Structure 1
Amino acid sequence: MAQVEIKSADEIALMREAGRIVCEILDELEKAVAPGVTTWDLDALAEKLIYAKGAKPAFKGYLGFPSCLCASINEEVVHGIPSKKRKLAAGDLMKLDFGVVYRGFFGDSARTVPVGKVGQEALALVNVTRQSLQKGIAAAVPGNRIGDISHAIQSYVEAHGYSVVRSFTGHGIGRKLHEKPEVPNYGSPGSGMKLRSGMTIAIEPMVNLGTDEVGLLEDDWTAVTLDSKLSAHFEHTVLITDHGPEVLTRRS
């Protein structure tokens, strides 16, 4: 079984800083989301704020990804590439997936932001996805296993009639953006790696209105729902402690 790095107190302090920076920048990006704004505008703002806060982009250049921000709209699930041609419109669901590196440690978070007034169907999907993340976080305690997180997310999502994306998972995080273990959004309770205090993981449910199946656009990055129905995405970087899960990318 793959070794998972248990973070020291000093390393956790740096990850808290990385997480704080991610949260603060996502707050500013969320404020900037509005009809007529391009995804390129949002990416430019993200990059400006990253360097202003003494951090570096986590995504730009990672495996060739060209931008600081993953900007995915409506049926786009994840990894959307910002574009000057892509303007937000009222009723869209804008998924902001974003990370930084701060003094060698990564923070990673995502949120789905309604653009202007959106329909009830879209709002319901967003709310269930957000709540499924909280269900997963609540299961992230020492002695539990990865499958307990996975099952908490899947069972909540499917009880509301939606599907969890299986092609992408959450992940360990620390000195690298993606570390062991993988954290799927589906699975059986009591399965997988046992959770230990000092582990840091990114939990990130991606939830679809229709089928869980996804395909890739011609840019080889943007994942979309196969049935073109809406998708929502939320993510937090979480520290597992003896006192319960600590969310590093949440407003303090």
Structure 2
Amino acid sequence: MASAPVADQLRLLDVQALDTRLAKLAHQRRSHPSLAALQEVTGRAEDLDRARVDAETAVRDARRAVAKAEADVEQVTNRAARDRQRLESGTGSPKDLQALGHELESLAKRQGVLEEVELEAMEVLETAQSALDAITAQRAALGEQIAQLEAERDAAFAEIDAEKATVETQRASAVEPLDPGLVTLYERVRERSGGLGVLRLRGSTTDPLQISLSLTELAAIEAAPADEIVRSEDGYIIVRVTD
């Protein structure tokens, strides 16, 4: 049967406690509330970024529509001004002047229609610009929220990482003098079990995980030499504690 000094087996409990603390710190880092909040807020920000692209496209299209409407109105206005100048000068035959009068009437109607189109285009632009401004403001607010959450996350991670470094140093010091075979076995059991390699046995109770030990198993453990490395049926290393 494998054996290791009793003192080393007892110190292995300290190593397990440090490994358990490291596991808890890793869990705290993975599950820190800021991470879920960041994911949620970042998702909203990405949605707004996509919406902003669409809104910017709508504003550009609306501006082009306004520019075209303004150009159409200007073109009709300029032509009407020229016709009016010719008409007022009286240059031309009565037939020509009459035709100019009719054309001015048509141009006035055309101008009215185009001005309505221009007004509608301007209203569309105003609506599109308001939507873009609202999205931009919301995105800016989310940007500030993201920055705040990132700062909270970084501060929490710095604290966790500092404690992790301290615990890792303590663990290295605790492991260094231990029996190499005992440490190798512990690491193998801990890897297989997902983090727990050794249990403390006081009387008939184990911790930090309580497992059922039969009377036969307890008797065998009690009868084993003090330096024997005792294992449970589940494979855990059992360290006997009498105090």
| Structure with greater proportional helix content | 2
- Using CA pairs under 8 Å that are at least 6 residues apart, name the structure with larger relative contact order, 1 or 2: 2
| Structure with greater proportional strand content | 1
Common fold by TM > 0.5: no
Bigger radius of gyration: 2
State TM-score, norm by structure 1. Answer: 0.22
State TM-score, norm by structure 2. Answer: 0.23
